[in-house]
Amino acid sequence: MKVFGVGIVGCGLIGHKRAKALGGSGKLVACADLDAGRAENLARVAGAQVFLDWRELVRSPLVDVVIIATLHDSLAEITLSAAQAGKHVLVEKPAARNAAELMPVIAAVKQQDIKVHVGFNHRYHRSLRKAKEIVNSGALGELMFVRARYGHGARVGYEKEWRSNPALSGGGELIDQGPHLIDLSRWFLGDFVEVQGFAHTYFWDMPVDDNGFMLLKTVKKQTAFLHVSCTEWKNLFSMEIYGTKGKIDLSGLGGSYGLEKITWYKMLPEMGPPETTSWEYPMSDDSWAVEITEFFDDIRLNREPISSLADASAALDIVEQIYRESGYDHCA
């Protein structure tokens, strides 16, 4: 079985997570970062080559797959160059600052015999995989709506970090944690054709939003009611999926977000108190490993990744529409 040579561009926290999750199917052979020390630190563990210019990394014959974990402003540019160099790509969400940046990337990928996967790793958490299994079995009946919240606590100086600079980030909380909730909701409900929302800066002194509210509807009026916040004060992940035969309640992502847990409330014929089953996942997060393993299999089997540039574009379209309606034209 082929072992893929992997190059990582962006050697911060997420780059380290991706490198750690490669398993036996991928070997880290190249690292690049604007901070040479960070690239050297990650490369040292695997004996990988360090590149001061990511353009040289994507052209390296040692590299089969490029993982891009940079700031938002360079995600699309690096993906485009890697695609043009004939490399397979895993690019972190949101994959670009706006949907327009993805258009040339999507066009280039169609001209190449390569695969591009967008890193929506939340789909691969144990609780979300279990929820998808239950929904796909039909046990929840026809889905009606999703209600979800995602937010993180405060840290001193947040308003001075790169996420508060729209030129680097493309926006605030709505483009940061929002794409995860949008993507998960689309994963369960399908495409949204009606978009309402509001982004606002309540607390932080910065030119981007610190809270985003969304009301999204499918053709069948299945609705996602979503809230993302960086004034949550205590990290939180909560998602409820409602069907005509019961509901699923998901909470936590492990670590600072608390114990990862899913509870299935199965409606009984006589209704009343539902039959309740819960699963808890106190073990370490394996979403990164499950995701990259699936992507390596996509490449080997010549199948299209289920987490695609089209998914990223759909999420960004929603984010941009809400930014425009909320007066954040510099983020749209």
Instruction: Give 113-144 as a DSSP string.
Output: S--EEEE-GGGGSHHHHHHHHHHHHTTT-SEE
pLDDT-based confidence at residue 146 (cuts at 50, 70, 90): very high
Q: What single-letter amino acid sits at 34?
A: L
Cα–Cα distance measured from residue 147 to residue 145, given in angstroms and rounded to the nearest whole number: 7
Asked whether the predicted pLDDT for residue 219 surpasses 90, the reply is yes
Asked whether the predicted pLDDT for residue 267 surpasses 90, the reply is yes
pLDDT in the model for residue 170:
97
Average pLDDT of the residues in 213-225: 98
> What is the overall mean pLDDT for the chain?
97
Using a pLDDT cut of 70, give the percent of the chain over it.
Answer: 100
Asked whether the predicted pLDDT for residue 154 surpasses 90, the reply is no
Query: Under 8 Å CB-to-CB from 103, ≥6 apart: which residues?
Result: none
CA angle (256 as vertex; 252, 259 as ends), nearest 5: 35
Average pLDDT of the residues in 280-292: 97
Cα–Cα distance measured from residue 281 to residue 39, given in angstroms and rounded to the nearest whole number: 33
CA angle (133 as vertex; 128, 139 as ends), nearest 5: 120
pLDDT-based confidence at residue 199 (cuts at 50, 70, 90): very high
Predicted confidence (pLDDT) per residue in 71-124, tens digit: 999 999 999 999 999 999 999 999 999 999 999 999 999 999 999 999 999 999
Query: Under 8 Å CB-to-CB from 201, ≥6 apart: which residues?
Result: 172, 207, 208, 209, 210, 211
Predicted confidence (pLDDT) per residue in 9-31, tens digit: 999 999 999 999 999 999 999 99
Q: Is 28 exposed, middle or buried (0-12, 13-18, 19+ CB in 10 A)?
A: buried
Asked whether the predicted pLDDT for residue 246 surpasses 90, the reply is yes
Query: Under 8 Å CB-to-CB from 264, ≥6 apart: which residues?
Result: 134, 139, 246, 247, 248, 276, 277, 278
Average pLDDT of the residues in 57-63: 97
Asked whether the predicted pLDDT for residue 1 surpasses 90, the reply is no
Question: How many beta carbons lie within 10 A of that of residue 167, not counting itself?
Answer: 12
pTM of the predicted model, to two decimals? Answer: 0.97
